[in-house]
A and B are shown apart, each in its own frame.
Chain A
Amino acid sequence: MTPASIMTFNILSILPILILSGFGMIVLFVDIFSSRRWREKNLLAYVSLLGVILAAIFARSSTGTTLFSFNETFTIDNYSLFFNFIFLLSTGLTILISHSYIRREEINHGEYYALILFSTIGMMLMAAGADLLNIYIGLEVMSVSIYILTGFKRSKLISNEASLKYFLLGAFATGFLLYGISLIYGSTGTINLKQVAGFIASKGGISDPVLLMGMGLIIVGLGFKVASVPFHTWVPDVYEGAPTAITAFMSVGPKAAGFAAFLRIFMTAFGSTHGEWQKIISILAILTMTTGNVIAIAQTNIKRMLAYSSIAHAGYLLIALVAANNIGVPGTLFYLLAYTFMNIGAFAIVIVLSRKGDECIQINDYAGLGFKHPFLAIAMTLFMLSMAGVPPMAGFVGKFYIFSAAIKSGYIGLAIIGVINSVISVYYYLRITVIMYMKEPAREFTPLTISPLIVAAIVISMVGTLHLGIFPSKVMEIAQQATLILK
């Protein structure tokens, strides 16, 4: 037994995670010792924001290099850095929009920010995980912190119900994921993705049913996280119940992490046996898109509508996963980034307009907004049209990217269904603009208190959506480099 040598690891690789966890701790301590006055000034928000920015700076410094540490269980490469950037962006924006929200809803506790930072750590772990263990741990760290955040409004029953549902179903789905991992471990003898790929290559394709079953169960576990159709039922209730800021965070962060893990596993581990899982995922994609779009039409609550729209977007992303060629994977990355800007922007406006106690979240409450608050209305129209996939916005370029991938690898049928779905989605996204601009205000608008931070978040999202829509080439190149590693 050779002495257990401490695995050499490069500090740089996990620096962002260390920073975030450090700042998480700091926030908790500051919260304990801070007087009431500090809490009013909301010092914690700025501290956590500082943490996020620092982590981003350090993450940026190590682009271009590919580091394996912790005995090849943890890789830092362009792929995980791109996702880190998405996670940090969504966390930063969430902190900006939740700053005034949690004060208004009287849930202004320090743990809120700490939990957000911890869940970001979980996401980073998932994205950087080179073996199933790391991915599992990252998944759990993220999910547990978000279970708590969903139930943060303890006084409100719907928040509790949401967190209970999310917890029970989340744990249930993770059970399947674990069982899948164990089967893969059983049949291939390893949980490292590269070694699994090696094993499959040596065997010349998957013949062992246990391995296939394992792969299926992994699809189930990650499918839940990514909200693909048969496993999507938690999304509308949890998104509606959770505090809106957390809903925004949940609709972007975990979904991106889910796709990061999905791509990582299915491109490196099962990359060679594309035929096996391609049929399953395309069925999932079709079901997800159609259900998401079709039910969204029938919604009257804006949060539930945005929940179904996020399911629909998961459907489009699954198309890219099915295509899995050198356009599809960077397409997914680009689409996720665009999706982050669009979604968080939209939720920010929902927060601003939903007044105290979240009572104005019916779609009809947006009547006449167009000319009462022109800035908010224009922002919302921009986000809605971008999600609908109307050009000069980022949504269009993302969808264009994904449909090109689908057509390139010959899935014409899938592309056609995707295109029909985006036409259906135009109806309910357009309905928002109709109600805002073309309907007279139902009742008198009470004056809105808009904090500068949330305006900053909206502006960042608008700029992001337009920039990615009009000048997407730079981000596309970064995404393409990121995926070279995967092969």
Chain B
Amino acid sequence: MITITHYLVLSAILFTVGVTGVLIRRNAIIIFMCIELMLNAVNLSFVACAHYLNSMQGQLFVFFTMTVAAAEAAVGLAIIVAVFRNKETVNIDDINIMKW
């Protein structure tokens, strides 16, 4: 029988995958996709807890995170396009003019 801990463990794993993805990959878009992955892991844990607690608040929260994620995607990709148009690359290792 699948209990709440299974779900939470799954969402933790997903979250860690997302985080490592952000750390390792160099392409800005891939990094953004990993961040989306993290958010979905959180949605999963929300839904699991909501079901387990039998309260609607968790489900409600998921709606908001999804809409926010969508908005963020729009803005994020626009920024990445602007960077690309200016520097012909999306590899974040080339983007380090400002340091120290």
Q: Which residues of A contact B (CB under 8 A)?
A: 133, 136-137, 140, 144, 147-148, 151, 154-155, 157-158, 160-165, 167-168, 171-172, 175, 178-179, 181-183, 185-186, 189-191, 236-237, 240-241
Residue B22 contacts which of A167, A172, A181, A182 (CB distance < 8 angstroms)? A172
Contact A191 B57 (CB under 8 A): yes
- Judged by a CB distance under 8 angstroms, whether B68 is at the interface is yes
C-alpha gap A172/B92 in the complex (Å): 15
Contact B61 A147 (CB under 8 A): no
Q: Tally the A-B contacts, defined by beta carbons under 8 Å.
A: 120
A386 to chain B, nearest CB (A): 27
Residue A144 contacts which of B57, B71, B83, B95 (CB distance < 8 angstroms)? B71
6 contacts between A and B (CB under 8 A): A133-B60, A133-B61, A136-B65, A147-B75, A160-B86, A185-B53
User: Which residues on the A side are within 8 Å of B15 (C-beta)?
Assistant: 175, 179
Closest residue on chain A to residue B49 by CB atoms: A186
Main secondary structure of the interface of A (DSSP, over half): helix
Contact B79 A163 (CB under 8 A): yes
Closest residue on chain B to residue A170 by CB atoms: B72
B63 to chain A, nearest CB (A): 10
C-alpha gap A185/B71 in the complex (Å): 24
- Judged by a CB distance under 8 angstroms, whether B80 is at the interface is yes
Closest residue on chain B to residue A182 by CB atoms: B45
User: Which residues on the B side are within 8 Å of A189 (C-beta)?
Assistant: 53, 55
Given A144-B71, A175-B39, do A164 and B83 touch, yes or no (CB 8 Å)?
A: yes
Residue in B61, B85, B99 whose Cβ sees the most chain A Cβ within 10 Å: B61
Which chain B residues numbered 1 to 42 have a C-beta less than 8 Å away from chain A?
Answer: 4, 8, 11, 15, 18-19, 22, 28, 31-32, 35, 38-39, 41-42
Closest residue on chain B to residue A134 by CB atoms: B64
User: Which residues on the A side are within 8 Å of B86 (C-beta)?
Assistant: 154-155, 157, 160
C-alpha gap A241/B86 in the complex (Å): 15
Given A168-B35, A186-B8, do A144 and B61 touch, yes or no (CB 8 Å)?
A: no
Contact B46 A182 (CB under 8 A): yes
Given A140-B68, A160-B87, A175-B38, do A181 and B61 touch, yes or no (CB 8 Å)?
A: yes
Residue B64 contacts which of A136, A147, A168 (CB distance < 8 angstroms)? A136
User: Which residues on the B side are within 8 Å of A168 (C-beta)?
Assistant: 22, 28, 31-32, 35, 76, 92
Apart from A137-B64, A147-B79, A157-B97: 19 A-B pairs, beta carbons within 8 A: A136-B65, A140-B68, A154-B85, A157-B86, A158-B97, A158-B98, A160-B83, A161-B95, A162-B98, A164-B79, A165-B95, A168-B28, A168-B35, A175-B18, A182-B11, A182-B58, A183-B45, A185-B46, A186-B4
Closest residue on chain B to residue A151 by CB atoms: B79
Main secondary structure of the interface of B (DSSP, over half): helix
Closest residue on chain B to residue A295 by CB atoms: B100
C-alpha gap A462/B41 in the complex (Å): 48
C-alpha gap A478/B76 in the complex (Å): 40
C-alpha gap A237/B83 in the complex (Å): 15
Which chain B residues numbered 59 to 96 have a C-beta less than 8 Å away from chain A?
Answer: 60-61, 64-65, 68, 71-72, 75-76, 78-80, 82-83, 85-87, 92, 95-96
10 closest cross-chain pairs (CB), A and B: A175-B38, A186-B49, A237-B98, A178-B42, A182-B45, A140-B68, A160-B83, A171-B35, A189-B53, A161-B95
User: Which residues on the A side are within 8 Å of B76 (C-beta)?
Assistant: 147, 167-168, 171
User: Which residues on the B side are within 8 Å of A154 (C-beta)?
Assistant: 82, 85-86
Contact A241 B98 (CB under 8 A): yes
Contact A161 B83 (CB under 8 A): yes
Contact B98 A236 (CB under 8 A): yes
C-alpha gap A210/B75 in the complex (Å): 33
C-alpha gap A440/B58 in the complex (Å): 64
C-alpha gap A179/B15 in the complex (Å): 8
User: Which residues on the A side are within 8 Å of B52 (C-beta)?
Assistant: 186
Residue B79 contacts which of A137, A167, A186 (CB distance < 8 angstroms)? A167
C-alpha gap A84/B58 in the complex (Å): 29
C-alpha gap A249/B80 in the complex (Å): 23
Contact B61 A160 (CB under 8 A): no
Given A140-B71, A175-B18, A179-B42, do A185 and B35 touch, yes or no (CB 8 Å)?
A: no
C-alpha gap A22/B46 in the complex (Å): 33
Given A171-B35, A178-B42, A185-B58, do A144 and B79 touch, yes or no (CB 8 Å)?
A: no
User: Which residues on the A side are within 8 Å of B50 (C-beta)?
Assistant: 185
Contact A191 B83 (CB under 8 A): no
Closest residue on chain A to residue B23 by CB atoms: A172
Contact A179 B75 (CB under 8 A): no
A157 to chain B, nearest CB (A): 5
Contact A179 B45 (CB under 8 A): yes
A459 to chain B, nearest CB (A): 32
Contact B87 A175 (CB under 8 A): no
Contact A186 B64 (CB under 8 A): no
User: Which residues on the A side are within 8 Å of B61 (C-beta)?
Assistant: 133, 181-182, 185, 191
Closest residue on chain B to residue A179 by CB atoms: B42
B60 to chain A, nearest CB (A): 7
Closest residue on chain A to residue B15 by CB atoms: A179
User: Which residues on the B side are within 8 Å of A151 (C-beta)?
Assistant: 79, 82
B11 to chain A, nearest CB (A): 8
Closest residue on chain B to residue A236 by CB atoms: B98
